[in-house]
């Protein structure tokens, strides 16, 4: 069964997608941010990717 994020983690995901990680990483594409965000949320990168696609976060 596919794992989904909790509401709290979805809110954190949206905030992380909108924010730059640091001055050096401000130009990262969404695809390069996803593995970093997955690490912060302590979930699989594929779970984060699926949430971004299904929920329309960009």
Structure tokens of 39? 């690490």
Would you say residue 58 has pLDDT above 60?
A: yes
Task: List, for residues 13-56, the tens digit of each pLDDT value.
Answer: 999 888 876 655 556 777 888 899 999 999 999 999 998 888 88
How far apart (Å, rounded) are the C-alpha atoms in residues 44 and 40? Answer: 10
CA-closest candidate to residue 21, choices 8, 32, 6 = 32
Q: Are 30 and 52 in contact (CB under 8 A)?
A: yes
Domain ranges of the chain: 29-58
pTM: 0.77
């Amino acid at each position: 069964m596919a794992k989904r994020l909790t509401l709290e983690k979805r809110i954190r995901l949206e905030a992380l997608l909108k924010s730059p990680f640091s001055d050096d990483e401000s130009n990262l594409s969404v695809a390069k941010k996803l593995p970093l965000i997955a690490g912060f949320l302590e979930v699989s990168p594929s779970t984060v990717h699926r949430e971004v696609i299904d929920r329309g976060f960009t």
